[in-house]
């Protein structure tokens, strides 16, 4: 009799095992998700999380994690079915296999939105997840890192809750573990915490985490270098002091971070360029340090080889460096920094990249006549005008092109480059060009001669007739530097005046 009873329970256990394993397998395929949801699988899996058999609990959790991972709607269903408290309760008591799976479920729920991440926190999961970081098993630590990273990524308060749970020191210890995948996700999670505010980044600094992150820049694994560079960027971006902490690790050299700009992995290269950008933007001293170590040349080479959105951090880096001083801008010019910026302005399809290029070119050329001439000789003015006039250009691109032209043209004394623009530039740009000629021509006889020969004098007489008040004061200054008869000759109504004189003379002759 006892044997017959035992068989019933064995069959029931086998059926439960088969059910959860099959559902977990079905949930792995996206095409099955809707059918499983319609069949009410969520309410069937929930009680199995508290099953007496550990393997059934684990498979039930795995199935729920795969369902929650699929969509925000299903993740919300997991929360509504009050699955999270059961998971957290079991997370503290079960074996390492279940802990890994439970952390996966928490990650799958938290990743979709701040609200769902808050629900995971409200279920008192953080203490349990931080406890998993103390486990000996690397895969459990890794799963916990994933969950904590997805919680921290959404908002500063959520990241603060992760910090308050004591995760940061343990994440720094995870960086020092031999397992590569654990290093990657630990660096990523630290970056997710640091990105929100200077205060959160300072927590990592105060825990002496930056040197441990920085030393991984020279690691052979490209995916790890991605996360390391990203984490350092998130720390450096907030303040000068935090940027200096990153600089003090002495990674900004040709053999360390600058070598990542030549890595085989495009994301690692972009993140390294972003890290340089986040440091140089803060202060001239930091920009000078990067230049002294050859960082500007590495960035220029990077922009030359990169395409698309990957160019953006490098383009902005050159703009930040050039903005600080004429000396730094000159170094960029002599290092052939204008060419890749001009190429991006011409060839990149995305307007925000073109706009960044226009801004950076403006920062290089705005310092002095010599800087402006470098842009003029490179035919940058014409390209900026073309972008400004293009009806398909975004408002931001047009604004940045106009500002760049304004700041550089007001310094430009290279009249040979200004003359062709005078004939083709739109009215909003013309006032800067005519204004420059009003400064150049009074003191430069060669420029006055060239101005007449290039039809510039004729053009400004036409502009005078158009009645543009912004230009009249400049045109009057220019006209006073030429004999009146020459000015009259190039006036649009000169022929009419000449005919009137002839007619007047003829009438006088008839009267006589």
- Please tell me the predicted confidence (pLDDT) of residue 512: 54
Give the pLDDT of the chain (512 residues) as one tens digit per residue. 477 788 888 887 788 888 888 888 888 788 877 788 777 777 788 778 777 777 888 788 888 888 888 888 878 888 887 788 877 877 776 678 888 888 888 898 999 899 999 999 998 889 889 988 988 889 989 999 999 999 999 999 999 999 999 999 999 999 999 999 999 999 999 999 999 999 999 999 999 899 999 999 999 999 999 999 999 999 999 999 999 999 999 999 888 999 999 999 999 999 999 999 999 999 999 999 999 999 999 999 999 999 989 999 999 999 999 999 999 999 999 999 999 999 999 999 999 999 999 999 999 999 999 999 999 889 898 899 889 988 888 999 999 999 999 899 888 888 888 888 887 788 888 888 888 888 888 888 888 888 888 887 777 777 776 666 667 778 888 888 788 877 777 777 665 665 666 656 555 554 55
Q: In terms of DSSP H, where are the helices of 123-166?
A: 125-132, 138-152, 156-164
Residues 6 or more apart whose Cβ sits within 8 Å of residue 467 = none
User: Distance between CA 187 and CA 168 in Å, rounded?
Assistant: 11
DSSP label at 310? G
What is the number of other CB atoms lying within 10 angstroms of the CB of residue 126? Answer: 24
| Helix (H) or strand (E) run with residue 44 in it | helix 41-45
Q: Can you tell me the distance from the alpha carbon of 338 to that of 345, in angstroms, rounded to the nearest whole number?
A: 11
Query: Which among 309, 322, 323 has a CA at the least distance from the CA of 274?
Result: 309
- CA 125 – CA 105 distance, rounded (Å): 11
Rounded-to-integer distance, Cα 328 and Cα 364, Å: 9
Nearest in space to 114 (alpha carbons), one of 145, 75, 77: 75
**Contact between 357 and 364 (Cβ < 8 Å):** no
DSSP string, 187-207: HHHHHHHHTS-HHHHHHHHHT
Residue with tokens 């909003």: 428
Place of tokens 């395409």: 307
Contact 427, 400 (CB under 8 A): no
> What local confidence, expressed as pLDDT, does residue 291 receive?
94
Structure-block tokens of residue 447: 């420029």
Contact 64, 105 (CB under 8 A): yes
How far is the C-alpha of 239 from the C-alpha of 244, rounded, in Å?
Answer: 9
Any idea what DSSP says for residue 291?
A: H
CB 83: neighbour CB atoms within 10 A?
22
Calculate the CA dihedral of residues 127, 133, 134, 140 and round it to 10 degrees.
Answer: 110
Backbone angles phi, psi at 294, to 5 degrees: 85, 15
pTM: 0.85
Determine the Cα–Cα distance for residues 13 and 223; give it in Å rounded to an integer: 43
d(CA 332, CA 325): 11
pLDDT at res. 231: 95
Closest CA to 384 of 354, 348, 414: 354
C-alpha 433: how far from its chain's center?
34
pLDDT at 1: 47
pLDDT number for residue 164: 93
Give 304's contacts (C-beta < 8 A, 6+ positions apart): 339, 340, 343
Residues 392 and 380: their CA atoms lie apart, in Å, by 19
Residue 463: both structure tokens together: 């502009």
Q: If you count them, how many residues does the chain have?
A: 512
The two tokens of residue 207 are 């825990």
**10 Å Cβ neighbour count for 348?**
20
State in Å, rounded, how far the first CA of the chain is from the last one.
150
Q: Give the number of other Cβ atoms within 10 Å of residue 12's Cβ.
A: 10
CA atoms of 38 and 324, how far apart (whole Å): 62
């Amino acid at each position: 009799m006892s044997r017959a009873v035992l068989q019933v329970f064995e069959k029931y256990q086998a059926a439960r095992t088969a059910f959860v394993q099959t559902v977990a397998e079905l949930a792995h395929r996206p095409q099955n998700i809707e059918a499983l949801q319609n069949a009410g699988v969520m309410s069937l899996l929930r009680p199995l999380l508290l099953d007496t058999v550990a393997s059934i609990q684990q498979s039930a959790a795995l199935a729920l994690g795969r369902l929650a991972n699929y969509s925000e709607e299903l993740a919300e269903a997991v929360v509504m079915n009050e699955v999270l408290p059961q998971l957290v309760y079991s997370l503290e008591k079960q074996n390492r296999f279940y802990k890994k799976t439970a952390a996966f479920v928490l990650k799958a729920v938290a990743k979709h939105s701040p609200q769902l991440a808050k629900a995971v926190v409200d279920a008192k999961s953080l203490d349990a997840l931080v406890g998993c970081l103390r486990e000996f098993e690397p895969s459990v630590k890794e799963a916990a890192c994933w969950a904590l990273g997805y919680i921290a990524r959404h908002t500063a308060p959520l990241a603060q809750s992760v910090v308050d749970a004591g995760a940061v020191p343990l994440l720094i210890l995870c960086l020092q573990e031999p397992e590569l995948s654990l290093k990657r996700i630990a660096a990523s999670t630290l970056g997710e915490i640091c990105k929100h505010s200077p205060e959160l980044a300072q927590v990592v600094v105060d825990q002496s985490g930056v040197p441990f992150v920085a030393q991984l820049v020279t690691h052979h694994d490209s995916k790890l270098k991605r996360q390391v560079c990203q984490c350092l960027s998130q720390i450096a971006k907030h303040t000068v002091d935090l940027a200096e902490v990153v600089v003090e690790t002495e990674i900004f050299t040709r053999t360390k971070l600058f070598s990542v700009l030549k890595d085989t992995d495009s994301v690692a290269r972009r993140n390294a360029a972003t890290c340089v950008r986040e440091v140089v933007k803060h202060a001239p001293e930091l920009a000078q340090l990067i230049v002294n170590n050859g960082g500007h040349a590495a960035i220029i080479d990077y922009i030359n080889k990169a395409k698309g959105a990957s160019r953006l951090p490098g383009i902005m880096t050159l703009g930040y460096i050039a903005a600080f001083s004429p000396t730094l801008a000159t170094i960029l010019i002599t290092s052939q920094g204008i060419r890749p910026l001009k190429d991006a302005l011409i060839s990149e399809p995305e307007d925000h990249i073109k706009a960044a290029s226009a801004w950076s070119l403006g920062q290089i050329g705005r310092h002095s006549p010599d800087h402006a001439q470098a842009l003029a000789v490179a035919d940058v003015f014409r390209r900026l005008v073309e972008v400004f006039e293009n009806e398909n250009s975004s408002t931001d691109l047009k604004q940045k092109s106009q500002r760049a032209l304004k700041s550089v043209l007001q310094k430009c004394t290279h009249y040979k480059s200004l003359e062709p623009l005078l004939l083709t530039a739109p009215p909003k740009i013309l006032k800067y060009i005519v204004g420059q000629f009003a400064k150049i021509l009074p003191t430069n006889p060669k420029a006055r001669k060239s101005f007449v020969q290039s039809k510039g004098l004729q053009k400004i007489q036409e502009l005078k007739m158009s009645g543009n008040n912004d230009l009249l004061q400049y045109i009057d200054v220019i006209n006073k530097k030429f004999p009146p008869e020459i000015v009259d000759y190039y006036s649009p109504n000169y022929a009419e005046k000449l005919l009137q004189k002839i007619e007047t003379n003829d009438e006088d002759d008839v009267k006589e």
